[in-house]
Structure 1
Amino acid sequence: MLTFYSGVAFSEPVELRMATGSGGPGSSVGNSLDQWAALIEEKTAGTPDEIKVDVFYQDELGDQKELFDLLVVGEVDMMINWPMTSYDERMGIRNVPYMIFDWEQAFNAYKSGGWLNEIYSEVHADLGLKYFGAYPEGFSGVATRDKYATTVEEAKGITVRVPSNFPNPLTIEAMGYTPVALAWGEVYTSLQTGVVDGDSGNVIYWDYEYFRDVLDYYVRTRHTFVSGMLSMNQNSWDSLNEFQKNAVADAAAEISSKQFENARAFDQTYVEKAIESGMEYIELTDEELLSLARKTRGEVWPEIEDAFGKELVDKIRENAPSL
């Protein structure tokens, strides 16, 4: 419900810059970015505390790392992003392999009061960022051309792009592949020229939308639950009054909640689109999944204790399902 103010001299609206490093106009992330901005403007329109939001999509202000840098220093105020680990390796907690196995576990981890939600709130605060919530996409996989793998042995000799965020390269290597860390904007050309044989770590949407003409297979390895973050520079947050903070935070909560409601069906839609386009979709058997989970946990989890600290890793061990 809108509240109308009469006889009030309004100051100029507060202007905020919102961005994402993954997704252009009309993409799923781009649409969510637009909706977050629209909700904030709607909630503050016609008040003395009006907010105007300028939206910037993938590559308009820089690549993923450059955008995260801009968020940390406050040149960008808000983001839907997949955080870089260059400032704090604990940002890579969401990439710990085989920590989550189904959507119910993911929701319980990332919901308000959930164990991963609390961890990320603390980590963001340490970087001078305000954390609003998760932006879930689904379970990751490995997309390749010419051949595919469902076991460590089959993966040997297959070179795949991997996001550079810790511990992604370690995970893909433990799964048997040869990892090559590449920025998102370099992936298509690298696939075309044979620098890599595939892409790893994404839900099928990204491999279908961007690379379906150069990839033949998508194996749902489920090694990570892919989730972005809705966050804001802390100084930008502190500059708002309580009414404006509530508008921004409530709008973020709506976007996160809507994404949890829709992401699973959205992901399945793209499985069907990929199959229709000629891409072969492969689900791991329970035996294959358990084998990969045991191997990657055995090799990668000991490494994360040095990066994240024992206390945090103990929380992961307490909350992740046993094998």
Structure 2
Amino acid sequence: MKTKLISFLVVALSFFTASALMAAEPYTGKTIKLRIASPSPNGSNMVRGYEKFVELVKEKSNDKIQIKLFPNAVLGSDRTTLESVQRGTLDMASCSSPNMASFAREYMVFDLPYITSPEYQQNLYNALDKGELGKYFETVANRIGLTTIMWSEYGYRNYVSTNKPLNNLNDLKGLKVRTTDSPIEVAVAKSLGMVPAPVSWGETFTALQQGTVDAEGNNWEHLVTAKHIEVLKYAMDSQHNYSMHILMMNKKAFDALPPEAQAILREAAAEALTWQRKISENLDETSKKAMLDAKIKFHDLSDAERAELKTKTKVVWDEFKKELDPKALELLLSTQK
């Protein structure tokens, strides 16, 4: 027990050391070249955040730390690129919180339907950035050979369809919906009478276009920037799941960097994250307008319908609660008050 406690404290200390510094020391060593992979499309809030990160690192290191960003899944899906990071053949990769369940089951806690609410968003940010929740998941990341660089804002997922009007909850039944690899996301779809079909993000547009799937759950902004609105016709503001994109780096590779370089990466990531979250605040509204302009028909849930949706998906909590670490569940729920 004592050994575990010491291990946890070491991780927590290393995780927060950089953020405690007033400013990173100048880096004067050899030029460092790094690569980041992201499945998200150009113009999305995630990619814009990573572009800001690259820019800040360049500025703070006087161009001695050079990062090349590969967006739009050009190096592969979340899972493929993060596996490359684990192997050490890629420096950093961004993976959605649902897809992180493939690497560590603890991340599934974020997928529970309606476990978070927009009104407590800042509480969640604080807990991830400088609280026990962030420390907990840094320990998890270290266990699988990674270190967390950024908890990028993604947003709330909503159901959309290519061919079936979504005028009420019953209309969800029978839809073949694209999901991530998350067991909980699959279970949520089943609880609503949908037919889940895990499809990698880079293949989703084609799957919708060809009719392999006829629905998906995603945030409005991603649907617009990925041009999915070209094939979508109907939308429902289900807000059934909150997601983040987590930028990870190989832990051994990070630890091998000079301390000054590590501090610059941490400092730039913190500043880029603050900026990225700020620009994300109004994206739902502007993206929804773009979808309306594309003639997509919306059904906004009434309070009664949203309550019914929460009731229908409560079975997922019952199904997975025993599989989740009680500590992770406790820490996340503590942010929602």
User: Do these two structures clear the TM 0.5 threshold for a shared fold by scoring above it?
Assistant: yes
Tell me what 1:293 maps to.
310
User: What SS does the corresponding residue of 1:140 show, helix, strand or coil?
Assistant: strand
1:317 CA displacement: 5.0
Answer yes or no: is 1:105 the counterpart of 2:105: no
- List runs of 5+ in structure 2 lacking aligned partners: 1-22
Higher deviation after alignment, 212-221 or 29-38: 29-38
Tell me what 2:38 maps to.
20
Which of these residues, 80, 95, 103, is aligned with residue 111 of structure 2?
95
Amino acid at match of 2:65: I
- Separation in structure 2 between the aligned mates of residue 3 and residue 167 of structure 1, nearest angstrom: 43
Answer yes or no: is 1:233 the counterpart of 2:247: no
1:230 CA displacement: 2.6
Which of these residues, 95, 98, 104, is aligned with residue 81 of structure 1?
95
Higher deviation after alignment, 82-91 or 37-46: 82-91
Tell me what 1:222 maps to.
239
Distance 1:97 1:2, change over 3 A: closer
Distance 1:227 1:2, change over 3 A: closer
- Separation in structure 2 between the aligned mates of residue 117 and residue 152 of structure 1, nearest angstrom: 35
> Would you say how many aligned residue pairs link Structure 1 and Structure 2?
310
- Separation in structure 2 between the aligned mates of residue 178 and residue 2 of structure 1, nearest angstrom: 50
Which of these residues, 271, 278, 299, is aligned with residue 261 of structure 1?
278
- Separation in structure 1 between the aligned mates of residue 296 and residue 125 of structure 2, nearest angstrom: 31
Tell me what 1:207 maps to.
223
Amino acid at match of 2:325: G
User: What SS does the corresponding residue of 2:196 show, helix, strand or coil?
Assistant: strand
Distance 1:275 1:155, change over 3 A: same
Deviations along 1:174-217, one digit per CA (max 9) or x if unpaired, are 123221111112222222222222111x1012223322121111
- Separation in structure 2 between the aligned mates of residue 315 and residue 33 of structure 1, nearest angstrom: 27
1:115 CA displacement: 5.5
1:114 CA displacement: 4.3
TM-score with structure 2 setting the length:
0.83
Q: Is the 8 A contact 2:49 2:273 kept in 1?
A: no
Tell me what 1:171 maps to.
188
1:71 CA displacement: 1.6
The structure with higher relative contact order (CA 8 Å, sep 6+) is 2
Please give the residue correspondences for 1:1-40 in structure 2 after superposition, counting only pairs within 5 Å: 12-24=30-42, 26-40=43-57
Tell me what 1:131 maps to.
148
1:228 CA displacement: 1.0
User: What SS does the corresponding residue of 1:18 show, helix, strand or coil?
Assistant: strand
TM-score with structure 1 setting the length:
0.87
Tell me what 1:63 maps to.
77
Q: Is the 8 A contact 2:236 2:299 kept in 1?
A: yes
- Separation in structure 1 between the aligned mates of residue 137 and residue 25 of structure 2, nearest angstrom: 35
- List runs of 5+ in structure 1 lacking aligned partners: none
- Separation in structure 1 between the aligned mates of residue 262 and residue 186 of structure 2, nearest angstrom: 38
1:44 CA displacement: 0.9
1:45 CA displacement: 1.0
Amino acid at match of 2:245: G
The two structures, once aligned, show a CA RMSD in angstroms of 2.5
1:122 CA displacement: 2.6
Higher deviation after alignment, 134-143 or 72-81: 72-81
